[in-house]
Amino acid sequence: MSHAGEIAALLTSACWSLNSVCFTLAGRRVGSASVNLLRLLMAWAVLVLVHWLLYGSAFPWGAGGARLGWLGVSGLIGFAAGDAVLFEAFVLIGARLAMLLMTLSPLFSAILAWAFLGQTLGLAKVAAMALTLGGIAWVVWDGGERETHPQLWRGILLGVGGALGQSVGLIFSQFGLAGGFPPISANLIRVTAGTVALLLSFGATGRLEGALSGLRDGRATAFIGLGAVTGPVLGVVLSLVAIARTSMGVAATLMSLSPVLLLPISHLAFKEKVGTHAILGTLLALAGAAALFFV
């Protein structure tokens, strides 16, 4: 399929849109710390089962030291460090501005792929990426309304750090996927590394028991489970397929459409008002995404 990577990237955006709603609903019940740890524990369990069914082993031990290293570091950066600073940015400056800063990830990804992978992007694709990013930024900014944030610049730095962490994690994953390594195996390695890192961190700071107590809330557990399947499992596998089948910049741009896809979901689930400004920004972003298929 000539556009398998682009399609996988778009499906990734859809998965991440759904899991963000699930994690938001769960977080309101048990807190973001519980959601952060439990989602990885559930995703890890599902991935181990799927890997065993598909490949006859619970873990890809034969991946080799170098590949384990690349993917392990990718998991640490993406699931542990990157998510940690992003969640803190949400607290300091709110989801809207933090998500706006995450639209920097495709730009970081394209620059890093050019610097370390030798990938190139023609002028037409760069223009389409800019159109997509412009639409996303316009939607998330929601008319340019400003709010007072006591720690604005710290939050901005953390938001930029989250975007950079996502991009660096994708670059490390690209090296780990070299030679046609299965994305499901790669994701299992990444999730294992992120889960171990969070367990050690929570244990060392005395927060492990409190985080695991979120399992006592049945509704929250159901939301986290659905979010884990659509996010760290299916969404991340699709993202690895995307970066393996198309250029890093294009994949990262299409995977950034989640804020746009969340417009109707937010309207229905959280009763948020969707005005003309948001609709026009959505059309602009989708036009740029469509252009990436044909230029």
pLDDT of residue 236: 83
Distance CA 189, CA 61 (A): 10
This prediction's pTM = 0.80
Profile the chain (295 residues) by mean pLDDT over runs of 10 residues.
84 86 82 85 94 95 93 91 78 70 78 78 82 80 56 83 88 87 92 94 93 92 92 86 83 81 74 74 79 69
**Closest among 253, 82, 243, 254 to 177, alpha carbons compared:** 243
pLDDT of residue 270: 65
pLDDT of residue 146: 47
pLDDT of residue 66: 94
Distance CA 288, CA 101 (A): 19
Q: What is the 3-state secondary structure (H, E, C) of the chain?
A: CCCHHHHHHHHHHHHHHHHHHHHHHHHHHHCHHHHHHHHHHHHHHHHHHHHHHHHCCCCCHHHCHHHHHHHHHHHHHHHHHHHHHHHHHHHHHHHHHHHHHHCCHHHHHHHHHHHHHCCCCCHHHHHHHHHHHHHHHHHHHHHHCCCCCCCHHHHHHHHHHHHHHHHHHHHHHHHHCCCCCCHHHHHHHHHHHHHHHHHHHHHHCCCHHHHHHHHHCHHHHHHHHHHHHHHHHHHHHHHHHHHHHCCHHHHHHHHCCHHHHHHHHHHHHHCCCCCHHHHHHHHHHHHHHHHHHHC
Q: Confirm if 12 and 198 have CB atoms less than 8 A apart.
A: no
Question: Which letter does DSSP use for residue 256 in this model?
Answer: T
Residue 52: count other Cβ atoms within 10 Å of its Cβ.
12
